Amino acid sequence: MATFIIARLTFLEALRRRILLAAFVLGVAFLILYGLGFHLMRNEAMPRAIETPRDALMSSGLNSFLVLAGLYAVNFLALAMGVLVSADTLAGEISSGTIQAVVTKPVHRAQIVLGKWLGFAGLLALYLVLMAGGVTAIAFLRAGYVAPNLLIGVALIYLAALFVMTLTLMCSSMLSTLATGGVIFGMYGLAFIGSWVEQFGAVLQNQGAINIGIISSLLMPSEALWRRAAFEMSPSVAQSLGFTFSGPMATISVPSPTMIGYASAYLAVTLAVAIRTFARRDL
């Protein structure tokens, strides 16, 4: 029960600090800009009605590209949201001394960490429903297009955001706020560059470059989860060719389903380390 009370307080704290308001306002601004871009680019690329099978294939490919480009931006924003809401939660309260008002209550420290994790997980779910739902609604209303396996793809984006939030929470239990932010964005940068190196390695058949990408994905699986999500939401023709768009560049090397299990286990271990570290820390 105490865990859910802390989760509710975490949610209310995000409301008080206007995190939800800022996310909602900027999210709506993003969707307006995306909708305008979707409309203009589709009009420019498909100026006439679909009359032949070739037109239909081109239209489907264009719609898939525009939707995945929008969801790529949503994926990045969800990861950033996961970092921003959790980086200061333990480190900030420890440094300011406000955590003393909580730990002196008859509440186990594990319940504090779990409650905050649940509260942030709820925030991320709401944010993702707004953003991914908005992108999907725009594509459907403008072009009648819905990405295949949409729920699986959005679930993988949510898993990536949860993982980054949990990793941030773990760092926040042992480091300062600034150090936590530096570590997380540094690891994201490694995963981002590693992903590019892996794709070039797949094109050039360079096993060393592919291995670099795999190692970076094992350290920080957020990019690998996005590439798997993009693959799941790509048309079956693209999947059969092993060539999908996943943002600024194409994906040639698609992560296997095993990576999903690995990321889930990594998340669980990270949360356990966060609980253990906070429970043993001298406050």
pLDDT of residue 271: 95
Model confidence pLDDT, tens digit, residues 3-13: 888 888 888 87
The Cα 179–Cα 38 span in angstroms is: 39
What are the φ and ψ backbone dihedral angles of 251, each rounded to 5 degrees? Answer: -105, 120
The 8-class DSSP code of residue 174 comes to T
The Cα 268–Cα 133 span in angstroms is: 27
> What's the chain's average pLDDT?
86
Give CA 181 to chain center in angstroms. 16
pLDDT of residue 20: 74
Give the other-Cβ count within 10 Å of 143's Cβ: 18
Residue 122's identity, in one-letter code, is: G
The pLDDT of 264-281, averaged and rounded, is 92
Are 266 and 221 in contact, with CB atoms under 8 Å apart? yes
The Cα 126–Cα 21 span in angstroms is: 12
Whether residue 60 is predicted with pLDDT greater than 70 in this model: the reply is: yes
The pLDDT of 35-57, averaged and rounded, is 79
Are 220 and 188 in contact, with CB atoms under 8 Å apart? yes
The Cα 13–Cα 9 span in angstroms is: 6
119: closest CA among 10, 227, 276? Answer: 10
Model confidence pLDDT, tens digit, residues 240-257: 776 677 666 677 778 888
Listing DSSP states for 61-91 in one string gives HHHHHHHHHHHHHHHHHHHHHHHHHHTTHHH
Torsion of CA 145, 151, 154, 160, to 10 degrees: -150
Coil, strand, or helix at residue 127?
A: helix
The Cα 57–Cα 68 span in angstroms is: 17
Token pair for residue 280? 């043993």
The Cα 59–Cα 176 span in angstroms is: 50
What pLDDT band is residue 48 in, cutting at 50, 70 and 90? low
Token pair for residue 157? 């984006």
